[in-house]
Amino acid sequence: MPRNCRPVHLPDRVPVPESEPVAGCDVCAALVRQREAARAVGDKSTLIDRNIELRRHPHAKAVRA
């Protein structure tokens, strides 16, 4: 049965700003190094994964007095 529909072309999603590392956090620093290595070789999948990990990486919140 022939298809009568045309392919759908979806626009690129709105870019999400890159996650910022917390100063002094070794895990954040390692994730940033991995992200930059992925960017250098054009590995967008790993770059996105590292941004997600940075965004989800927990840090203790400051306690209010």
Least-confidence region, from 2-6, 7-11, 42-46? 2-6
Q: Are 27 and 55 in contact (CB under 8 A)?
A: no
**CA angle, residues 38, 39, 41, in degrees to nearest 5:** 70
Residue 51 has pLDDT above 60, yes or no: yes
What band does 7 get if pLDDT is binned at 50, 70 and 90? confident
Q: Are 22 and 55 in contact (CB under 8 A)?
A: no
Q: Are 32 and 46 in contact (CB under 8 A)?
A: no
Among candidate residues 40, 44, 55, 54, the one with its CA nearest the CA of residue 13? 44
